[in-house]
Chain A
Amino acid sequence: MMKKLRRSMLFLPGSSAAMLSTAFIYRPDSIMFDLEDAVSLKEKDSARLLVFHALQHPMYKDIETVVRINPLNTPFGLKDTEAAVRAGVDVIRLPKTDTPDDIYQLEGEIARIEAECGRPVGSTRLMAAIESAVGVINAVAIAKSSPRLMGIALAAFDYVIDMQTERGDGTELFYARCAVLHAARGAGIDAFDVVYADIDDEAGFLKEVDLIKRMGFNGKSLINPRQIEILHNAYAPTQEEVDYAERVIAAAEEGDRHGLGVISLNGKMIDAPIINHARVVIERKNASGVRQ
């Protein structure tokens, strides 16, 4: 089975009826309804209900849905979890994950709600957002803490404050990016990079996308639909990469037909990781074409 592409995860404020009613047309790989920082304290209840109903609307049937809940140590976190799980969300994003205990606590609540509402227990996936120095240090344990975890994300805003620095050219995130990415790969789950807040700085955004793609991140959290196409294009393979991937897959299929364990292409050995990478290249081409 092909792995789900998760290049773009678009943040939507859970309190915005207009955005919740239209965002599906932008076709990000995942849509994340935010009940946390994007929603004021006095609208937490209304946003929760808006998201609860939007999740059940057919317009979101074909898009992976994620809800960023408030932390469980606030008066809102558990209610957000009730709403999201009962509405059939695909993934719950836990902000400010510092330790595996944060995940254990959440998955206990989710299992109870799933059983109560008749959802198969285990069907709600989780992603952990790491936003502090302690979270980065514990990233390996967090990433392995639950079979429900589909990925971990680095969130820069709180992290740089915790590190007593500020957003700059990426140097400030160097260790955290490496740590989160290695933790994800070690656990066999996805890794998501931070949002790029300056939506008018396309060159800066592209530079950051190029960096995190080369590092190996699956994708990035986005705050504006305009960033989706730019990101998808940057993740799209070049024609040269597509041609090579097609030759690798053809050679692999030819090898299979002749029962060969090891095959070669133009004198170079082709093994399973190269074949898998070729399939990812073709999948990315099928999703967003050849890089323009």
Chain B
Amino acid sequence: MKIVKAAIAGTLESSDLVVKVSPAEDGLDITVNSEVYKQFGEQITAVVKETLSAFNITQGEIIVEDKGALDCVIRARMQTAILRGTESKEIAWEKL
């Protein structure tokens, strides 16, 4: 899938995160900022990459501003931003 437009999902409230995705031509550019980066930065980055991979996204700029979200919230916000940015109308639930 291809990110065709800039999209955003989530909030900056505690236990949530904001994911911004935008089109890019030179591979993936992932930035993760988190209040708990020292403890969980690797784990958050892993969830972000895993979600991108499940959608077969290989190009795009991804910015994550995390406020201490659980993995399940990170996954949900990533998927929402991707589905919005790829203008997907149908959801392949088995990929989620």
**Which residues in A have some Cβ–Cβ distance to B below 8 Å?**
16-18, 20-22, 45-46, 49-50, 52-54, 56-57, 79, 82-83, 86, 117
Chain B residue with the shortest CB-CB distance to A21:
B15
Contact across chains for A45 and B83 when beta carbons are under 8 A apart: yes
Please tell me if B10 contacts chain A, counting CB pairs below 8 Å: yes
What B residues does A83 contact at CB under 8 A? 93
Residues of A near B16 (CB, < 8 A) are 17-18
Closest to A55 in B: B72
With contact pairs A17-B10, A22-B15, A45-B84 given, residues A50 and B93 touching in the complex (Cβ less than 8 Å): no
Taking a contact as CB atoms under 8 Å apart, the answer to whether B15 and A49 are in contact is: no
Chain A residues, Cβ within 8 Å of B91: 79, 82
Q: Which of B25-33, B37-45, B57-65, B73-81 contacts A (4 or more CB under 8 A)?
A: B73-81
In the assembled complex, the Cα of A57 lies from the Cα of B72 at a distance in Å of 7
| Residues from chain B with Cβ under 8 Å of A18 in the complex | 13-16
The 7 closest A-B pairs by CB, nearest first: A17-B16, A53-B72, A18-B15, A49-B76, A46-B80, A50-B76, A53-B76
| Chain B residues with CB below 8 A from A46, complex form | 9-10, 76-77, 80
Which residue of chain B has its CB nearest to the CB of A57?
B72
A18 to B13, CA, bound (A): 8
Shortest Cβ gap from A49 to chain B (Å):
4
- A45–B69 Cα distance when bound, in Å, is 19
Looking across the interface, which residue of chain A has its beta carbon closest to that of B15? A18
**Chain B residue with Cβ nearest A22:** B15
Tell whether, in the assembled complex, residue B96 and residue A49 are in contact, meaning their CB atoms are under 8 Å apart: yes
By a CB distance below 8 angstroms, the chain B residues around A117 are 93-94
Return chain A residues, CB-CB under 8 Å to B77.
17, 46, 49-50
Contacting residues, chain B, for A21 (C-beta < 8 A): 15, 69-70, 73
A49 near B13 with CB under 8 A, answer no
Q: In this assembly, does B53 line the interface, its C-beta being within 8 Å of a C-beta of chain A? A: no
Assuming the A-B contacts A17-B15, A18-B13, A46-B9, are A53 and B80 also in contact, with contact meaning beta carbons closer than 8 angstroms in the complex? no
Can you name the residue of chain A whose Cβ is closest to the Cβ of B79?
A: A49
30 pairs, CB–CB < 8 Å, chain A vs chain B: A17-B10, A17-B15, A17-B16, A17-B17, A17-B69, A17-B73, A17-B77, A18-B13, A18-B14, A18-B15, A20-B73, A21-B69, A22-B15, A45-B80, A45-B83, A46-B10, A46-B80, A49-B77, A49-B79, A49-B96, A50-B77, A52-B76, A52-B96, A53-B73, A53-B75, A56-B72, A57-B70, A79-B91, A83-B93, A117-B93
Q: Is the CB of A54 within 8 A of B83?
A: no
Q: Which residues of A contact B73 (CB under 8 A)?
A: 17, 20-21, 50, 53-54
Residues of A near B79 (CB, < 8 A) are: 49
Determine the chain A residues whose CB is within 8 A of the CB of B9 once the complex forms.
46
| With A18-B13, A46-B10: A86-B76 Cβ-Cβ less than 8 Å | no
